[in-house]
Amino acid sequence: MTVPTTATPVAAPAAARRSLPRRSRALLVTPTIVVVTVGLVIVWIRSQDFTAPGRAPEGRALDLGGLLASFGEHVYLVAISTLVVVAISIPLGILLSRPSAGRLGDAVLAFGGFMQALPPFGVIIIMAFSPLGFGAPSAIVALVIASFLPVLTNTVVGLRQVDASYIEAARGMGMSAGMTLRLVELPLAVPVMVAGIRVALVLNVGTATLATFIGAGGLGTPLLSMLKLGRTDAAFAVAALVAALALFVDWLAAVAEQVVRGSGG
Amino acid sequence: MIGRTPRASATAVVTAAALVLAGCAGGGLQQSSGAAAGGGSLAQKVDLTGQSYTVGSKDFDEQLVLCEMTVAVLESVKATVTPKCNIGGTEATRNALLGGQIDMYWDYTGTAQVTFLGGKPIQDARQQYDTVKSADLAKNQIEWLAPSAFNNTYAFAVSEAKAQELNLNSDSDMAAYYAKGGTGTTCVESEYLVRDDGLPGFQKTYGFQLPGGQPTVLETGAVYQATADPTKCLFGEVFTTDGRIPALKLRVLKDDKTYHPLYNAALTVRKPVFDKNPAIADAFAPVAAALTDEEMLKLNGQKSSDNVPQRKVARDWLIAKGFIGADQN
């Protein structure tokens, strides 16, 4: 199996190999942390007196209604960009993993490595001055560029690592290439593929804070205004929300993985 | 003004190089003290031989130019200078001054009045300066030298062509445009969105409300670029002395209800340092007076749009004005 150095596959989570009940229990840890974090942030915000002199800017940035709107924008950016990444990277990864693709796969993965090496801050600003203009579409394109590689790499690597004898056995039983892919290769590759999607999700949650630079909103707006004004506590509170969102979407993907594996196995 | 977005790291490298150069030049001048005597008008009035100063600044272009200017002025009056330009945002730079890591840097009267002294902005430049000067000296042992003529404050700008088409000259025109149902986009950076002297109070003062979904929040530098294209941003929040205003052909709207606080700059100096030789004030008074809005716009433009190193921008201007000798380039 050839793996370009720029695109090391992300290891499937150790949890995937454990027994189901233990994994189910492990899945409770993350939501607990998320709920506690969000709860603490809200309690802290409500305990603050923003009418005190000089604190009005924090009050405006941490207004719960406004935060919820920013949160919604953030989730929208992450959801759409991750869906686009999955829609592009998984079919492309399947194509590139076919023996007929030959060395093309390595070339595409190397190109993917180059795209991911571009700094998202630069890409997002450049996108805003493309015909897409300012706003969410540009931000989504920038997020896709920043996060499609792990999904692509893990799809290719996940499929390539399937033992050739299983494929031969499936073909020997009379399965077509398509059936072999659907019933043998993909189910066996799912843990590695999902690991890639989880990396993309977490990357997108972080990178989406840059969307505020091009008018696409998100939690970056209150975060940046508080950072610029030197309000460390408030900036930390918003950053904690971003971290909680990252943990939460990672957890969602882990749950989805179990469901997929459960039905497939 | 409180923290602006730092430039790319490339600028930091350039700045670092300039610092090294400036440091070398300072040392060189020290050794040949007498040589520059015939130089500029400042050296004929002030002599700070034997004094040594550490000069700092915040991290945006105007501050970098002012920092280099301060270094050049002090060198021309034969002081020894350690440049520490580009320290960081307002908080970091002010703390460096209060903590004695630097002896002086340029700050803005509006920032001091609101952020350091916790007061309300005063809409009279002289009065605000006097208030800040006496309060900061009494409370924090910081001397404010003569204020600049220029006022680097927030403003809204429109592309010149569009401003002519829609006949937009003042912020009241902007309010009227929206009151009549105009749908052009207003773009601001994230800080202005929540500042006490930012957008909420601006809309209140001018009695209008932006249409739903507005404003669009952009990166500070992107606002200028985007405002050059009225289909992206019709109105852009800018700083009045930013060099990109002339470069991108923007028209700054007049703040006809004087909503935005006044931000005149002045060199702030620790009192013990100032007391060593108060003649330092005489060296900077003529320089500050010569720094009008137009001059500062021009200097900032050379730095931000034409990419001239701040050291060259500062020294060329001081030489052209006759403040320092041509041999100090």
pLDDT tens per residue across span B53-93: 999 999 889 999 999 999 999 999 999 999 999 998 888 89
Average pLDDT, stretch B302-327?
A: 92
A52 in reach of chain B (CB within 8 A): no
Q: Give yes or no for residue B20 having a pLDDT over 90.
A: no
Q: Give yes or no for residue B214 having a pLDDT over 80.
A: yes
Average pLDDT, stretch B186-194?
A: 91
What's the pLDDT at A106? 85
What's the pLDDT at A10? 54
Matching residue, tokens 């800018």: B238
What's the pLDDT at B8? 41
Spell out a b/e string for A179-198, using b for 16 or more CB atoms within 10 Å of the CB, else e: ebbeebbbbbbbbbbbbbbb
Average pLDDT, stretch B305-320?
A: 94
pLDDT tens for B105-159 read: 999 999 899 888 988 889 899 999 999 999 999 999 999 999 999 999 999 999 9
Sheet containing B52-58: give its strands across: B80-88, B52-58, B104-108, B264-270, B142-151
What's the pLDDT at A22? 63
Task: Considering only the beta carbons, identify the residue of B115, B118, B218 that sits closest to A215.
Answer: B218
User: Would the pTM count as exceeding 0.80?
Assistant: no
A114 in reach of chain B (CB within 8 A): no
Sheet containing B216-217: give its strands across: B216-217, B186-188, B235-239, B154-159, B250-252
CB B186 within 8 A of CB B233: yes
Mutate to test the interface with B, among A225, A226, A233 (most CBs of B within 10 A): A225
What's the pLDDT at B196? 80
What's the pLDDT at A229? 82
Residues 6+ apart with CB under 8 A from B123: B258, B261, B262
pLDDT tens for A77-126 read: 999 999 999 999 999 999 999 888 878 888 888 888 888 888 998 999 88
Spell out a b/e string for A130-148, using b for 16 or more CB atoms within 10 Å of the CB, else e: eebbbbbbbbbbbbbbbbb
Chain B residues with at least one Cβ partner in A under 8 Å: 2-5, 89-91, 115, 118, 187, 190-191, 193-196, 198, 200, 216-219, 222, 225-226, 232-233
Tell whether the torsion through CA atoms of A218, A220, A221 and A222 is positive or negative.
positive
What's the pLDDT at B63? 95
CB A207 within 8 A of CB A145: no
Q: DSSP letters along B22-85, please?
A: HHHHHHHHHHTGGGGTTS-HHHHH---TT-EEEEEEESSHHHHHHHHHHHHHHHHTT-EEEEEE
Q: Give yes or no for residue B256 having a pLDDT over 50.
A: yes
In angstroms, the CA A193 to CA A150 distance is 9
Q: DSSP letters along A145-191, please?
A: HHHHHHHHHHHHHHHHTS-HHHHHHHHHTT--HHHHIIIIIHHHHHH
Q: A135: closest CA among A212, A68, A199?
A: A212
CB pairs under 8 A between A and B: 71
What's the pLDDT at B25? 42
DSSP state of B236: E
Matching residue, tokens 């909503």: B259
DSSP state of B116: I
pLDDT tens for A39-54 read: 999 999 999 999 887 7
Q: pLDDT tier at B221 (50, 70, 90 boundaries)?
A: confident
Low-confidence ranges of chain A (pLDDT < 50): 1-7, 14-18, 265
Spell out a b/e string for A32-69, using b for 16 or more CB atoms within 10 Å of the CB, else e: eebeebbeebeeebeeeebeeeebbbbbbbbbeebbee
A124: closest chain B residue by CA: B219
Q: Above pLDDT 90, what percent of chain A?
A: 64
A57 in reach of chain B (CB within 8 A): yes
CB B116 within 8 A of CB B223: no
Average pLDDT, chain B: 87
What's the pLDDT at A21? 61
Comparing B196 with A201, the larger pLDDT belongs to A201
In angstroms, the CA A58 to CA A51 distance is 10
